[in-house]
Amino acid sequence: MSLVEQVMGEVNQVMGMIDEKQLKDAESVIQKDKRIFVLGAGRSGLMAKGFAMRLMHIGYTVYAIGETITPSIQAGDVLVAVSGSGKTSSILELTEKAKNDGVKVVAVTSHSDSPLGKMGDVTIVVPGATKAGDGVKSIQLLSTLFDQSVHITLDVLCLMLSRRDHVSNDTAKATHSNLE
Amino acid sequence: MSLVEQVMGEVNQVMGMIDEKQLKDAESVIQKDKRIFVLGAGRSGLMAKGFAMRLMHIGYTVYAIGETITPSIQAGDVLVAVSGSGKTSSILELTEKAKNDGVKVVAVTSHSDSPLGKMGDVTIVVPGATKAGDGVKSIQLLSTLFDQSVHITLDVLCLMLSRRDHVSNDTAKATHSNLE
Amino acid sequence: MSLVEQVMGEVNQVMGMIDEKQLKDAESVIQKDKRIFVLGAGRSGLMAKGFAMRLMHIGYTVYAIGETITPSIQAGDVLVAVSGSGKTSSILELTEKAKNDGVKVVAVTSHSDSPLGKMGDVTIVVPGATKAGDGVKSIQLLSTLFDQSVHITLDVLCLMLSRRDHVSNDTAKATHSNLE
Amino acid sequence: MSLVEQVMGEVNQVMGMIDEKQLKDAESVIQKDKRIFVLGAGRSGLMAKGFAMRLMHIGYTVYAIGETITPSIQAGDVLVAVSGSGKTSSILELTEKAKNDGVKVVAVTSHSDSPLGKMGDVTIVVPGATKAGDGVKSIQLLSTLFDQSVHITLDVLCLMLSRRDHVSNDTAKATHSNLE
């Protein structure tokens, strides 16, 4: 079996364990009249940013924590926090602070019973291997399988949102950055 | 004379050459019902981001080109482009594209007759030394004196805007990111 | 068929078209005694950064164009440039400049005969749908399928590199950022 | 008095209180055979990045915490942490972790007796006004005066380093990013 096939075997296995009901719950929280904030560290952070960028294309008001123009988060906002292990300390600290301030939390992690998983008003479990060595076993390094599966999972959520909101490819293209 | 005094001598010299009339012209272009985009490379880019962050605190809709959630720029938007030499190729290319699309350009550069300086609907001249060796002479490396002077110049513009808009320190603090 | 299954059907289709020979060619260019630079805009840029981060974990000297501490690129360096359409103007301009300076180019794009595809000393073709509407057809918005497939493809390349270099999970974990 | 003059009055006042002895202490810690990491949030983070970029131009191995290719920090490394109030929670948490791991800390803050100020093996006091309302009084919003003064202070440190290391403008220019 080629390396591509082995890796795709792993991704297919994790994606087969995604619970679309959890995505539906997240979908119901993400609304046009809410501000959505995304949070993640390392490669999880890049996946969170990719999700934020696509939400922007679909027409949401969205911010990535740590970027230049991100304002204060307030009661009524939504925070999507991503951590494979569910234990990344800065992610936990900021998510807890937001939750205490009345922010709705969508947790994305490999374990529903991790500290982050427990904080979620909605928790999306993506059981790919993480740095901590848990989740579906993988021949890939560190949290690679988690990153890949989170990427696709959040894109499926974007697909659900774009259909619910009747956003066409042309509409999304018109919003896409034209200075690059 | 201490090094601090020598460097402050340079900064004071450049800041003494800032034309507040140009800042007034920029102020009149930057309005709450406009979207403001900032653009810069290297340390100029960091200064542009610092300006964007403060504009956000004052209550503007502002985006930094290249960041995650920056949408397409459109006719009627404002682009603040920063380049010491006024010749940075990507800055010129993107500014020209935006200008052709009907975007109002605020150019911030050391030379009014540089390519970027000529593109500005409003041009703010900050004559600090740049990488190209022009501007006020400096004992500091590369464009350091330009960066320092741009920083303070754009902050003076923020002060003008916050006064015009009656934004207090407390109002700005409430908008400042609370997840850091 | 569930949405997850439909999306995975698309990803499996694209990944089935990846030519591992092209990955082998890229592997031979990426060496510990070379400096590797990555370049991409938008979501392609996030994928390029994810690749750079993993290369760092495996032990490479790697830089992301546009980040703070990225030095000048020189003859003998390697540039990995990612663009789905192969036509993103800033990517083309910077890649051409680097190529003229003697930099080895690894192009990652959906079309071998796009401008970027033709610039590659090595070209990795990832035929997922892009913003331009080419590549494998997709129910997902814009270049989503390209992004997903590039992500996994570059991770397969990382797997090849980590095996060639005998980098274990523990070694990679020791290099992973510990301040997050 | 013009607004520029009022602002420069503030900057001159703060810079007159900079203790070059503290910069000399920082200079002695920053060496070519050390890895330097910089850390800051918000506009302080932008100033930290500007410092890191210039250190790179001068020839140092330097990383900005939170960027793509930043590896783990280890005993023997140097961490330059910037916070006006000296109380930013993530900065404190990460600095404390690094210090416990044997990292040498250069703290840059408005108060030597703030939590961050006390953590510094070397502390550079920049007494500009901060969000918390302390430091030299200012007509500018939030931590603007601190940001401006930190910018110039760290540039003076760069000037000291470039002279100690005999780095000319041409040498620095050759290292400056050429893809922008």
D180 with C56: Cβ contact below 8 A:
no
Q: Which residues contact C15 (CB under 8 A, 6 or more apart)?
A: A4, A8, C149, C152, C153
SS3 letters across chain B = CCHHHHHHHHHHHHHCCCCHHHHHHHHHHCCCCCEEEEEECHHHHHHHHHHHHHHHHHCCEEEECCCCCCCCCCCCCEEEEECCCCCCHHHHHHHHHHHHCCCEEEEEECCCCCHHHHHCCEEEECCECCCCCCCECCCCCCCHHHHHHHHHHHHHHHHHHHHHCCCCHHHHHHHCCCCC
Does C93 touch chain B if contact means CB atoms closer than 8 Å? yes
CATH 3.40.50.10490 assigned to domain C10-170? The reply is yes
Q: Helix (H, G, I), strand (E, B), or coil: what is residue C165?
A: coil
- How many Cα neighbours within 13 Å face the side chain of B66? 23
As a whole number, the mean pLDDT across chain C is 96
Average pLDDT over residues A16-30: 98
Q: What is the reported pLDDT for B135?
A: 79
Give the DSSP letter of residue A122: E
Beta-bridge partners for A122 = A106
Residues A16, A168: Cα–Cα separation, whole Å: 27
The CA-based dihedral angle spanning residues A135, A138, A140, A146, taken in that order and rounded to the nearest 10 degrees: -30
For residue B89, which residues of chain C lie inside 8 Å, CB to CB? 93
Do D159 and D56 meet the contact criterion of CB atoms below 8 Å apart?
Answer: no
Within 13 Å of residue B122, how many CA atoms lie on the same side as its CB?
19
Handedness of CA B41, B46, B50, B52 (dihedral sign): positive
Q: In this complex, is the C-beta atom of A64 within 8 Å of any C-beta atom belonging to chain B?
A: yes
> pLDDT for B55-99, tens place per residue?
999 999 999 999 999 999 999 999 999 999 999 999 999 999 999
Query: Which whole number is the average pLDDT over A57-67?
Result: 98
Determine contact, residues B94/B65, Cβ cutoff 8 Å: yes
B145 phi/psi in degrees, rounded to 5: -65, -35
- What letter represents residue C104's amino acid? K
Interchain contact A177–C (C-beta under 8 A):
yes
Residue D4 near residue B157 (C-beta atoms within 8 A)? no
Name the percent of chain A lying above pLDDT 90.
Answer: 94
- The shortest C-alpha distance from D148 to chain B (Å) reads 7
Q: How far is CA D167 from CA A143, A170, B85, B101, C44, in A?
A: 41, 52, 22, 43, 37
| Residue C93 to residue B94, Cβ atoms within 8 A | no
Give, in order, the Cα–Cα distances in Å from D161 to each of A104, D105, D157: 48, 18, 6
With cut-offs at 50, 70 and 90, classify the pLDDT of residue B119: very high
Read off φ and ψ for residue A122, nearest 5 degrees.
-125, 135
Is the confidence at residue C102, as pLDDT, over 80?
Answer: yes
Nearest to B66 among C66, C68, C94 (CB): C66
Cβ of C162 under 8 Å from any chain A Cβ? Answer: yes
D76 is written with which tokens? 């023997």
pLDDT digits (tens, 9 = 90+) for C106-149: 999 999 999 999 999 999 999 987 777 777 899 999 999 999 99
- A93–chain D Cβ distance below 8 A for any pair: yes
Cross-chain Cβ contact B4/D12 below 8 Å: no
Q: What is the SS3 assignment for C38?
A: strand
Please state the φ and ψ torsions of residue A21, each to the nearest 5 degrees.
-60, -40
pLDDT tens for each residue of D18-38? 999 999 999 999 999 999 999
Give the pair of three-digit tokens for residue D105.
């800390």
Specify the pLDDT at position C134: 73
d(CA B83, CA B121): 15
Confidence grade of residue C177 (pLDDT, cut at 50, 70, 90): very high
A90 Cβ under 8 Å from any chain D Cβ: yes
* Whole-angstrom distance, CA of residue A166 vs CA of residue B103: 29
* Chain D partners within 8 Å of A66 (Cβ): 66
Distance from C-alpha of D121 to C-alpha of D115, rounded to nearest angstrom = 13
Interface check A58 vs B, CB under 8 A: no
Between CA D142 and CA D153 the distance in angstroms is: 19
Give the C-alpha separation, A27 to A160, whole Å.
7
ipTM over 0.90: yes
Percent of chain C predicted with pLDDT > 90: 94
Q: Do B12 and D12 form a contact (C-beta atoms < 8 A)? A: yes
Task: For residue D77, report the phi and psi dihedrals to the nearest 5 degrees.
Answer: -75, 170
Q: What percent of chain D has pLDDT over 90?
A: 94
Query: What pLDDT shows up at residue A131?
Result: 73
Instruction: Kindly report the three-state secondary structure assignment for every residue of chain D.
Output: CCHHHHHHHHHHHHHCCCCHHHHHHHHHHCCCCCEEEEEECHHHHHHHHHHHHHHHHHCCEEEECCCCCCCCCCCCCEEEEECCCCCCHHHHHHHHHHHHCCCEEEEEECCCCCHHHHHCCEEEECCECCCCCCCECCCCCCCHHHHHHHHHHHHHHHHHHHHHCCCCHHHHHHHCCCCC
CA dist., res. B71 & res. B67, Å (int) = 9
A90-99, C20-29, C158-167, D132-141: the lowest-pLDDT one? D132-141
Is the CB of B56 less than 8 angstroms away from the CB of A67? no
Domain boundaries, chain C: 10-170
pLDDT for the residue numbered B172? 94
Q: Which amino acid is at B126?
A: V
Model pLDDT, residue C149: 98
A-chain residues within 8 Å CB-CB of B53?
68-69
Contact B48, B88 (CB under 8 A): no
> For an interface test with B, which of A51, A57, A68 has the most B Cβ atoms less than 10 Å from its Cβ?
A68
Under the banding of pLDDT at 50, 70 and 90, the label for residue C87 is very high
Q: Whole-prediction pTM value?
A: 0.97
Q: What is the DSSP letter of C63?
A: E
Contacts of C122 (CB under 8 A, 6+ apart): C22, C25, C26, C29, C104, C105, C106, C107
Residues D94-108 pLDDT 10s: 999 999 999 999 999
Determine contact: A89 vs chain B, CB below 8 A.
no
d(CA B63, CA C14): 34
The total number of residues shown for chain D amounts to 180
Run of H or E residues at C68: none
For residue A130, which phi and psi values (nearest 5 degrees)? -120, 175
pLDDT of residue A48: 98
CA gyration radius for chain D?
16
Least confident of B20-24, B132-136, D164-168: B132-136
pLDDT of residue D114: 96
